[in-house]
Amino acid sequence: MLADLLSTFRLNRWLWQGRRAPAVPLAGLRAGAAVKVAGVIAAVDAHVEPLVSPFTRTPCVAWMARVEEKSTTMVRGGVSYETDEPYFREQLFQVTCAPFWIDVDGGGRLRVDDGPTSITLVLANVNDHPHVNDENPAFAAFMRSTGIPTTLHMGIAGEHRFSEAFLRAGERVAVYGTLASTQVLVAGGYRGVNEEQLSLRGDEAKPLVVARG
């Protein structure tokens, strides 16, 4: 119990630091440091299939999605009861981030690895979007993967709320994480040349903290 509380405290402190820390240039940074950089998303990593957001089918490097269901049943303290008015309860909240590159303010390019990620974006309601209402195979497959059955015109029917946010190439972003250095073989000469590649990484205890920059 105490260990869980300590883990939660450390995670919340890390997320707080990630949101409050100032962005810094790449020059002089060392591997192992917790840093925040800001710049423009250059592209998805060339070796990774680009992401597509689940509801609007928008190509992106990261997305957030939420599904809420209209209900009149509420559970508190293990007790279920009926409410006087219907409300929307969350059925799904999901975040996905692919590896991508940032052209960092002040010069240089940095890779953001995949891994546990906390993304702070403003979710937009997309209930009226055609892809939430036309029973297209991609939408149906995503919903099945979450265990939520689909119905015809699911967005405009009014029984669910769909919200989505995403980050695309060309947009500004700020990322906080642990700086890592890897030697990468690049073309050059007879055998090629080892070149240092900097990246930001996250794990369960210290996830990447991503927001618009």
* 135: Cα separation from own chain's centroid: 25
Sign, CA dihedral 44-47-52-58, equals positive
Closest CA to 29 of 122, 106, 129: 106
Task: Evaluate whether 201 touches 209 at the Cβ level (below 8 Å).
Answer: no
d(CA 60, CA 136): 19
pTM exceeding the 0.75 threshold for the entire prediction: yes
Q: What is the bridge-based pairing of β-strands 100-104 and 34-44? A: antiparallel
Provide the token pair at 79: 């007790």
Provide the token pair at 106: 């002040």
The DSSP H or E segment spanning 207 is none
How many residues does this entry show for the chain? 213
| pLDDT at position 192 | 60
Domain extent listing, the chain: 22-211
pLDDT beneath 70, residues of the chain: 183-193
| pLDDT at position 63 | 95
Provide the token pair at 16: 């707080």
Q: What is the bridge-based pairing of β-strands 59-60 and 51-52? A: antiparallel
| pLDDT at position 185 | 58
